[in-house]
Structure 1
Amino acid sequence: MSLTYSISDLARELDITTRAIRFYEEQEMLSPERRGQERVYSAKDLVTLKLILRGKRIGFSLAECKELIELYDPVHGNRKQLETFMRKIAERRLQLEQQLLDIQQMQLELDTAEERCLTALAETDRKQGIAS
């Protein structure tokens, strides 16, 4: 008999909500068996959820996670999946590098704005000191 999980078992194990698990079902990323009203998840569903959560942590969209999961082929090997994953990693790195440059530019602009405000405040204080 293979290991199965209830929705609450998965939620507890992965520290996510049952609502999130149902959302991934709606997105057709999980397909639990049904025993009456009860959902019964397999070890494959657990692995799929772990992959989704890992993908989200590194910034992949849900569509990208789904694409990578669907590329898995235990019979013919997972070379295509791994190559796709490597390409997406490279793309994500480029996005992060651009975001880092954008943040650094924004910090410079904030520094400039702060310096102008401090200068204007000092000038205001100087004028008020003269007028008093």
Structure 2
Amino acid sequence: MNTKQSSTYTISDLAKRFDITTRAIRFYESEGLLSPMRDGQKRIYNQKDYTTLKLILRGKRLGWSLAESRDLIQMYNPDSNNQEQYLKVLEKVQDSRERLQQQMHDIEIMLMELDEHEQRVKTAMSR
């Protein structure tokens, strides 16, 4: 489908576009995040569904839970300036950044411990 005039998509269109499975799309639909129209058994997704899926997948890449992404998506109001949503996104970004920085620190410590252990084993082997 995916014509420029209609801005509708089949489940296959979305799966190809976002490189995910149709099963994943049906899961997001079962979670109430996507609401395609139906043409018999065929699902027809609109631009809102496309954008919602894009935001879900972005949130997933950022390490956000589906519930967190849902909350942010549901805050969107096309009739407002969405400042509350933006502030919440900034808060989530900061949380993610802090979590990643902590993970990076933990990895650095683990690498130092591995280096020390490796050196002790090499020293023991050379005796």
TM normalised by structure 1 equals 0.88
Bigger proportion of residues as helix: 1
Task: Please give the alpha-carbon distance, in whole angstroms, between the structure 2 residues aligned to 1:115 and 1:9.
Answer: 54
Q: CA deviation at 1:3?
A: 2.1
What does 1:17-36 correspond to in 2, within 5 Å? 17-36=21-40
Instruction: Give the one of 88, 94, 100 matched to 1:90.
Output: 94
Identity %: 53
Deviations 1:39-65 (A, max 9, x none): 110010000111111111122121111
Supply the RMSD in Å over aligned alpha carbons: 1.2
Task: Please give the alpha-carbon distance, in whole angstroms, between the structure 1 residues aligned to 2:115 and 2:16.
Answer: 45
Flag structure 1 segments of 5+ consecutive residues without an equivalent.
124-132
1:53 aligns with 2:57: yes
- Residue 28 of structure 1 aligns to a residue whose secondary structure is coil
Flag structure 2 segments of 5+ consecutive residues without an equivalent.
none
Instruction: Give the one of 4, 9, 13 matched to 2:8.
Output: 4
4+ residue runs over 4 A deviation: none
TM normalised by structure 2 equals 0.91
Q: CA deviation at 1:93?
A: 0.7
Question: How many pairs align?
Answer: 123
Which amino acid counterpart does residue 96 of structure 1 have in structure 2? L
